[in-house]
Amino acid sequence: MRALRIAAAVEALSLAALLVNLVTVHVQAVSSLLGPLHGTAYLAIIVLTLTGPAAAAPGARWRSAVPGVGGLLVLRRVTARQPS
């Protein structure tokens, strides 16, 4: 679960940084660095969801495939199902 939280944070933050870079100065070096980082975090979320306990939550698998915020959606779904 911890790896999924980290990957979700990296995915969301890298997407935000990419979008800010796109609408402001559009530095190619930033895109070259953050693009692959965002893609790797996206794929890590899908793999972690399919292989981890998060897959037991209904709807978690398809939520993990949503680009940009899939990790956050999976975390929300998994934590909503856990007893308090």
Residue 25 CB neighbour total at 10 angstroms: 8
At residue 23, what are phi and psi to the nearest 5 degrees?
Answer: -85, -10
Q: How much is the average pLDDT of 78-82?
A: 77
List, for residues 26-67, the tens digit of each pLDDT value: 999 999 999 999 999 999 999 999 998 867 788 889 999 998
pLDDT of res. 35: 96
Cα–Cα distance, 5 to 48 (Å, whole number):
10
3-state secondary structure of 1: coil
For residue 34, give its domain range: 2-81
User: Based on the number of CB atoms within 10 Å of its own CB, is 11 exposed (0-12), middle (13-18) or buried (19 or more)?
Assistant: buried
